[in-house]
Structure 1
Amino acid sequence: MLPNSDAFELDDELENDFETEVLPDKTYRLDFASNSINGMIDETTAREQAIMKIFMTEAEEYLIYDYDYGCALADLIGEQPPLVQSDIKDAIETGILSDDRFESVEFTNEKLERGRLTLSLTVTCTDGEEINLEEVEVDV
């Protein structure tokens, strides 16, 4: 006997009975300098760390992350610095905006010296909070 698919109908009342809950940004504190985990962080500090992790992770490289997590920078190796300078900003913006906590990215300052691009950026979160990151460095 096969199940009758017409016998099951979603009740509109039940369908609209669910509410979405926003979970707090709470995670482990990663110390990038010493490669260690030191306690817990939340709110703005956790969001700043999330941005830095996205920035430091090559997109589509690690199986533990979704395909759109991280920044696709490996294809830019060996390219001309002016091309790299614009493409890096696009890759960083795409990587950050793949996280649903972030709404927009604005680059406020950039400096290219001896194969190193230094960027300052402001990331606007979906709740309106702005996170400023100063002097993030990328080798070009």
Structure 2
Amino acid sequence: MKLFKRSGRLFISGMEIASVIYLLLLSIQVQTTFPSAKNIFSILIMGGLIGIFSGLLNIDDYRIELPIHFVVTFLIVLGIMFINGWVEWQNPTFWLAFGIEYLFVYGLAWLIVFLSGNLKVKRINKTLRKRNQSLKK
């Protein structure tokens, strides 16, 4: 049951990050077509899957696990892009643009995760300091 709850939290966390990034990409018009329900749901599923996969990795050794995460995430993104009909297999310009966009979005996702984690740690530390101060009185 714990694994199911943890997977659910990771899935939702991944969906949150993916939806923020998707909205940002829509705002700068990376997607030239009007977003459909299929696009939106597939992005949410993609984010959830990446969230679960990210939670399975306990990144202790970045040299090993980060490249694995990078490649698996790339394959998940490519799969969703294929499902949505966004892949132009024979177009070298597409692959160059996709590679640059992927690196940017991957970095943005890590930045969001990092900032989110820092905010949580600060809130926890603040709560602990208050609790410790109240115990000293």
Higher Cα radius of gyration? 1
- Larger relative contact order (Cα-Cα within 8 Å, sequence gap ≥ 6): 2
Higher helix share: 2
Q: TM-score range by the shorter chain?
A: 0.3 to 0.5
For normalisation by structure 2, the TM-score amounts to 0.33
Higher strand share: 1
For normalisation by structure 1, the TM-score amounts to 0.33
